[in-house]
Amino acid sequence: MMNKEGRLAFWMLVPSFAVVMALVIFPLMWNIWLSLKPISLGGLRGKSLFECNLTLQNFQKVFTDPDFGRILFTTLIYTVSGSALSILVGLMAALLVNGKFHGRGLLRGLLISPYIAPVVAVTFTWSFILDPQLGVLNWAAIDNGLFGQPIPFLSQRWLDVHVMGVTLPVPLALIFVIIFEGWRYFPFAFLFILARLQGIPAELYLAASVDGASPFQRFYHVTLPQLSTVLATLFLFRFIWTINKFDDIFLLTRGQAGTKVLAIRVYDYAFGEFNIGASSATGMILFGILAIFLFVYFRWILKSA
Amino acid sequence: MKTAISFLVLILSFNLVCLASAAQKKMIFWTTEVEKDRLEIQQEIASQFSHKTGIVVHVVPVEENFLPERVTAAYAARSLPDVIFHPVDYTIGWAEAGILDHKSATEVVSRLGKETFGKGPLNLVRVPGGYAAVPIDGWGQLLLYRKDLFHKKALPVPDKWDRILKAAKALHNPPQIWGFEAATDPGQIYMQQVFEHLALSNGVSLTNSTGRVDLDTPEMVQTLEFYRSLSRFTPPGNVSWLHTRLDYLSGRAAMIIWSSFILDELSGLRKDQPVLPDIANGKPGFLARNTGFVSTIYGPRGSARYGQMNCLGITRDADRDAARLWVEFLLNDGYMMWLNMAAEGKLPMRKGTRDVPHRFIDGWRDLELGGTSQAKISQFYGMAVLKTIIAGVDGFDRWGLAEGKGSVISKVYGSKVISEILKRFLDGELSAKQAARVMDKRVKALE
């Protein structure tokens, strides 16, 4: 028999349990159900929605799509580099404003701005700046003789770069979408890292200086180990959010020019081809990839901790 | 405490007001005419309608690019609006999915009189057992060219492929002027529209003579090669409708393909769209006078006039009687006001009434550019241009719609798959033959 306090605890858990059921578990189950049914736009209503005619043909369709491999690869590249870049820039920004100087508060505030600005506004500004015809970047570069002709940063898939006699094709649009991701989300990493930096006791640096450590050694042997947990957690968060990212890429390139990721494919299936089943199946694949990643990550984190 | 009480009173009284007005019949109308001045006109039509019938129409603007997802979501949520104003690209697909109620639409068409509509327009919305939706307006796609520059180099009217190419080559002098600005932004339907026009002009339809989807043809390969040749005279990057219009109006493009909506901006009567050649020459109307229009393009193996038609669809969730009344009102008493929103891009698909068969066509001729510019199309551009444009009331050439492939076309337009492959071809990733094969395969997969 549970005591009074225990029962009360249960009752207090009910609201959050209900919320999780309604907003997480039920949509997930519903998505699994939809992904296993041959369902198009017309099937969104009516009895066929609840019929038990389960099949794997949606997954077959998604996996046999000739572009699937490339989209998956793009998704992984985008997610890993986008997350890493945002953390790297965040780290640099945090180190920059960690010390005391005039106007520090103002600068910190300014550094947050990409994160709080509305996504539609910033994507519009970026595409305007990067536009080959109307953009200021191309104009300035051509005016100064940097480029011979305008470069369509967001709409060209490959750019041949000549480095020391070797010609390398570079995925231009993808790189700029990743740079955007790094720019837009570094403040998130910046806030976490800065908070941790402020918590590192000054004695550690003092002791290191006494031992004759150079600034780089102090960073490598004192700061970085102190930040390791927060960096690992940040990467986890950024990975989860970036792999599910839809709006940024969609607004910048609409998934064209080699920037199509799985999240955009989910949208394409549902609202372009009106194939709800295939869309749900793609969503499930995304979920599966994330689940595997989390499993590996937690195992690794638990072991190292 | 006091503020809390007065707040409560406010909410209560607001609820009472709502209850009182709920006695009136209400319906919801989704429209893709979202610009502010056009919305005001639609609200005016709606208020006249409610004055006459007592039915309140709630006009909801929906961006055309977001229409498919909004409709899908509303359909799944069982909360479709009563009437949707939408491009014909989606009509058949939605009717087949059960979103549109073709019985109501057919009833409206027969009550207004089948013979009062153009034959071509009705053909595009035909489904077994009637019509999927009611055609209301449309525009023709035009090839615009600089008559003055053509004249200087003694170039003929660019209505044939070889003439277009020759002129583009002769006039190309970037960055001062681009020979031909083709659409190269695969994220916009505009690219599909321009490409489809050229493909149709070479006899490429979505289907072959047996009625099956067939895009892997020599004509298609030829069209792709032609499009790539044109794109060499186009600025780099994703060129969308915004770029081509801007470049033409600033005198930086010798030829573009655009909808007849451009007649308004081209006139130079709009303050938000400065026309640079007019300003540079100090002569208002310079560019408009020196622009030629081609609506039918001749390819080596055919010819075509492309256009877009918009329809009023009555949904399955609609209050049928109210919705039918509203659609009939829009095509009758409210029709001239509707067309007057932007006469240059709204050709009447209903030519007249039973008693006066040419009432709306004649009325349309007297409308003004952009609705409020004080300049009639016929006066500003002359009768020849007017004739080119008004030929569209009898319908346009389109892929697959008249051949019963409307639901595939919905998906082609929705997924923009043709533009995507076309772009990959233009970027040199695929050869013309490969591109034609991939297009064929991908479109067949949508069936």
β B25-31/B55-61 pair status: parallel
Indicate if the pLDDT at residue A198 is higher than 90. Answer: no
DSSP-assigned letter for residue B157: P
Chain A residues within 8 A of B415 when measuring between CB atoms? 268, 272-273
Average pLDDT over chain A, rounded to whole?
A: 86
User: Long-range contact list for B275-278, CB < 8 A, 24+ apart?
Assistant: B275/B249, B275/B250, B276/B249, B276/B250, B276/B251, B277/B250, B277/B251
Residue B43 has a pLDDT of 93
- For B426, the closest chain A residue by CA position comes to A156
Task: Report whether B398 contacts B203 (CB < 8 A).
Answer: no
User: Which residue is listed with tokens 């090839």?
Assistant: B143
Task: Report whether A255 contacts A263 (CB < 8 A).
Answer: no
Question: Which of the two residues, B74 and A155, has the higher pLDDT score?
Answer: B74
Scanning B202-240, the segments in alpha helix (DSSP H) are: 218-231
Q: What is the pLDDT along chain B (447 residues), one digit of tens a residue?
A: 455 555 555 555 555 444 444 456 889 999 999 888 889 999 999 999 999 898 999 999 998 878 888 998 898 888 899 999 999 988 988 898 889 999 999 999 999 998 898 888 888 898 888 999 999 999 889 999 999 999 999 999 999 999 999 999 999 998 789 999 999 988 888 999 999 999 999 999 888 888 888 999 999 999 999 999 999 999 888 888 888 999 999 999 999 999 988 888 888 777 777 888 888 888 888 898 899 999 899 999 999 999 899 999 999 988 988 999 999 999 999 999 999 888 888 889 998 888 888 889 888 888 877 655 667 777 778 777 888 788 777 778 899 888 888 888 888 988 889 999 999 999 888 999 999 999 999 999 888
Chain A residues within 8 A of B435 when measuring between CB atoms? none
Closest CA to B225 of B252, B245, B202, B205: B202
Q: State the Cα–Cα distance between residues B151 and B133, nearest whole angstrom.
A: 45
Classify residue B368 as left (phi > 0), alpha (psi -120 to 50) or beta: beta
Residue A125 has a pLDDT of 92
DSSP-assigned letter for residue A100: -
Q: What angle do CA B151, B157, B162 make, to 5 degrees?
A: 115
Question: Out of A133, A254, A271, whose CB is closest to B68?
Answer: A271
Task: Report whether B447 contacts B213 (CB < 8 A).
Answer: yes
**Encoded tokens for A80:** 């890993």
Q: What sign does the CA torsion over A59, A61, A64, A65 have? A: negative
User: Which residue is listed with tokens 């053909």?
Assistant: B123
A259-274 burial, b at 16+ Cβ within 10 Å, e below that, comes to bbbbbbbbbbbbbbbb
Contact B411 A256 (CB under 8 A): no
Residue A60 has a pLDDT of 87
Give the gap in angstroms from C-alpha B298 to the nearest C-alpha of chain A. 31
What letter represents residue A156's amino acid?
Q
Residue A1 has a pLDDT of 57
| Backbone dihedral angles phi then psi of residue A168, each to the nearest 5 degrees | -115, 125
Q: State the Cα–Cα distance between residues A105 and A111, nearest whole angstrom.
A: 10
Closest CA to B257 of B220, B290, B297: B297
DSSP-assigned letter for residue B156: P
What letter represents residue A100's amino acid?
K
- For A132, the closest chain B residue by CA position comes to B237
Indicate if the pLDDT at residue A228 is higher than 70. Answer: yes
Q: State the Cα–Cα distance between residues B314 and B99, nearest whole angstrom.
A: 9
Q: State the Cα–Cα distance between residues B446 and B399, nearest whole angstrom.
A: 15
Q: B22 CB near a chain A CB, below 8 Å?
A: no
Residue B11 has a pLDDT of 52
Q: State the Cα–Cα distance between residues B406 and B90, nearest whole angstrom.
A: 8
Residue A300 has a pLDDT of 75
Chain A residues within 8 A of B72 when measuring between CB atoms? 41, 44, 270-271, 274
Q: State the Cα–Cα distance between residues B141 and B197, nearest whole angstrom.
A: 8
- Give bridge partners of residue A170 from the DSSP assignment: A159
* Residues ≥6 apart with Cβ < 8 Å to B96: A42, B127, B406, B407
Report ipTM for this prediction.
0.73
Contact B237 A152 (CB under 8 A): yes
Q: State the Cα–Cα distance between residues B4 and A289, nearest whole angstrom.
A: 51
Residue of B191, B192, B238, B239 to mutate, interface with A, max A Cβ within 10 Å: B238
Closest CA to B31 of B75, B102, B83: B83
Which H/E stretch holds residue B347? strand B347-348
User: Which residue is listed with tokens 């491009």?
Assistant: B87
Task: Report whether B179 contacts B158 (CB < 8 A).
Answer: no
* Residues ≥6 apart with Cβ < 8 Å to B70: B30, B62
Give the gap in angstroms from C-alpha B227 to the nearest C-alpha of chain A. 18
Indicate if the pLDDT at residue A34 is higher than 90. Answer: no
* Residues ≥6 apart with Cβ < 8 Å to B181: B233, B234, B235, B239, B243, B244, B247, B248, B253, B255, B256
Q: B146 CB near a chain A CB, below 8 Å?
A: no
Indicate if the pLDDT at residue A123 is higher than 60. Answer: yes
Residue of A30, A39, A45 to mutate, interface with B, max B Cβ within 10 Å: A45
- For B71, the closest chain A residue by CA position comes to A271
Contact A272 B416 (CB under 8 A): yes
Task: Report whether B236 contacts B181 (CB < 8 A).
Answer: no
- Give bridge partners of residue A166 from the DSSP assignment: A163
- Give bridge partners of residue A233 from the DSSP assignment: none
User: Which residue is listed with tokens 């070797």?
Assistant: A166
Question: Out of A155, A157, A158, whose CB is closest to B237?
Answer: A155
What letter represents residue B344's amino acid?
E
Contact A40 B78 (CB under 8 A): no
Q: B429 CB near a chain A CB, below 8 Å?
A: yes
- For B411, the closest chain A residue by CA position comes to A273
B254-274 burial, b at 16+ Cβ within 10 Å, e below that, comes to bbbbbbbbbbbbbbbbbeeee
Chain B residues within 8 A of A267 when measuring between CB atoms? 69
- Classified as helix, coil or strand, A19 is helix
Task: Render A164-177 in DSSP notation, one character per residue.
Answer: TTEEEEEEHHHHHH
Chain B residues within 8 A of A131 when measuring between CB atoms? 237
